[in-house]
C-alpha cells in the first residue's frame, strides 16, 4: 500500500518509521525539510508538498493544531488534489468542531476522514506502543486499522463519527493535565512539612496510584526532568482550551479546566514554554515559595 505521511515532529517520525518498517511505500512531507530528508535516507520518498503525500491509498497527518492542519491541507489546496477515494487519518488532537468540519469537507470531495488521535509520548511511538483512539466511517476505519496497528499497543474503536475520537482524546488530556497539577500541589504540600516530594510520589505510585501515567509524570517532576520536552507546555494549554470549548458546546461546566488554563498561562509567563508539560507541576512549588531548581 502507498501511504502518505504529513507532519514529522517528535511523534510523527517514530510513527512514520513504524509504518515504513511494516513494508509500506511511504511518501513523507514536513514543513521543515530535515525530518523528511532523514526518512528519505532510510527508504521513504520525500515529496515536494502535502499534495504529494495525499496522492496515496492512505495518508496520515500529525500536525500541531487546527489552524496548522487547515493551512497545510485546506487553504493550500492540497486536499483538492488528493487521490480519489483517499482515506485521510488525522492523528492529532483537534477541536470537536474542526473534526466535524474536516469530516464534511472530505465527504464532499469523495474522500474519507478518520480521527485517530494517540495517547503516548515520542518514545512510546517509536516502540509501537501508542494507544490509538479511532472513529470514522466503518469502511475507512477498516482500511486504516492494519496501518494503525503497526504503531499501536491497541486501537480503540469509538464509532462512526470522527468527532467522537477527538472529544475522548480531549477528555483524556484534560484528565492528564489535572493529574500533573495535582501531583505538583501534593508534592509542594509535603515539602512544606520537610518531606521530599519524591518520597510522597514513591508512596503514591506504589499504592493507590500505581499506574504508568502517575509513575512517569511524578518521576519527571521529582527529577526536574522537564527538558527535552516530549509534549510542550503550550500544547497542553491548547488541549485544555479545547476541553473548555467542548464543554461550552455541550453545556458542561469544567471548573477545574478553567484553573488549569490559568496555571498553564502562569507557567508560560514564568518562561517555561519550551519545557515539557510536566513542568505545570513545578508551578505549585513556585507558588508555595519552593521553586524547583
Known catalytic residues are 169
How many Å apart are CA 137 and CA 229, to the nearest integer? 35
How many Å apart are CA 145 and CA 165, to the nearest integer? 14
Q: Which secondary structure element, helix H or strand E, spans residue 233, and what is its range?
A: helix 233-249
How many Å apart are CA 18 and CA 172, to the nearest integer? 24
Q: Which secondary structure element, helix H or strand E, spans residue 112, and what is its range?
A: strand 112-115
- The answer to whether the CB of 19 falls within 8 A of the CB of 26 is yes
**Diameter of the chain measured on Cα atoms:** 64
Backbone φ and ψ of 60, nearest 5°: -110, 140
For residue 105, the tally of other CB atoms under 10 A from its CB is: 16
- One DSSP character per residue, 54-102 reads HSSSEEEE--SSHHHHIIIIIITSTGGGSPTTPEEEE-S---HHHHHHH
- The answer to whether the CB of 178 falls within 8 A of the CB of 260 is yes
How many Å apart are CA 28 and CA 16, to the nearest integer? 8
SS3 of 177-229: the string is: HHHHHHHHHHHHHHHCCCCCHHHHHHHHHHCCCCCHHHHHHHHHHHCCCCCCC
Amino acid at each position: 500500500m502507498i501511504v502518505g505521511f504529513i507532519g514529522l515532529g517528535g511523534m510523527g517520525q517514530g510513527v512514520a518509521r513504524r509504518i515504513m518498517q511494516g513494508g509500506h511505500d511511504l511518501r513523507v512531507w514536513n514543513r521543515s525539510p530535515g525530518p523528511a530528508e532523514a526518512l528519505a535516507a532510510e527508504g521513504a520518498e520525500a515529496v515536494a508538498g502535502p499534495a504529494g503525500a495525499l496522492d496515496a491509498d492512505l495518508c496520515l497527518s500529525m500536525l500541531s493544531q487546527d489552524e496548522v492542519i487547515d493551512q497545510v491541507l485546506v487553504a493550500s489546496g492540497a486536499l483538492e488534489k488528493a487521490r480519489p477515494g483517499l482515506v485521510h487519518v488525522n492523528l492529532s488532537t483537534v477541536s470537536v468542531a474542526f473534526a466535524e468540519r474536516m469530516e464534511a469537507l472530505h465527504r464532499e470531495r469523495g474522500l474519507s476522514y478518520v480521527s485517530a488521535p494517540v495517547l503516548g509520548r515520542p518514545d512510546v511511538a517509536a516502540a509501537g506502543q501508542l494507544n490509538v483512539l479511532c472513529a470514522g466511517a466503518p469502511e475507512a476505519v477498516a482500511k486504516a486499522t492494519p496501518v494503525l496497528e503497526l504503531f499501536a499497543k491497541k486501537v480503540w474503536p469509538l464509532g462512526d463519527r470522527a468527532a467522537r475520537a477527538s472529544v475522548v482524546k480531549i477528555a483524556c488530556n484534560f484528565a492528564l493535565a489535572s493529574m500533573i497539577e495535582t501531583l505538583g500541589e501534593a508534592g509542594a504540600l509535603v515539602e512544606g512539612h520537610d518531606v521530599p516530594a519524591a518520597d510522597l510520589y514513591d508512596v503514591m505510585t506504589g499504592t493507590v496510584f500505581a499506574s504508568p501515567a502517575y509513575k512517569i509524570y511524578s518521576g519527571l517532576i521529582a527529577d526536574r526532568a522537564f527538558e527535552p520536552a516530549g509534549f510542550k507546555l503550550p500544547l497542553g494549554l491548547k488541549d485544555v482550551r479545547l476541553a473548555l470549548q467542548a464543554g461550552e458546546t455541550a453545556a458542561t461546566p469544567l471548573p477545574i479546566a478553567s484553573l488549569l488554563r490559568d496555571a498553564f498561562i502562569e507557567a508560560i509567563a514564568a518562561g517555561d514554554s519550551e519545557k515539557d508539560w510536566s513542568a505545570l507541576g513545578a508551578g505549585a512549588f513556585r507558588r508555595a515559595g519552593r521553586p524547583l531548581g
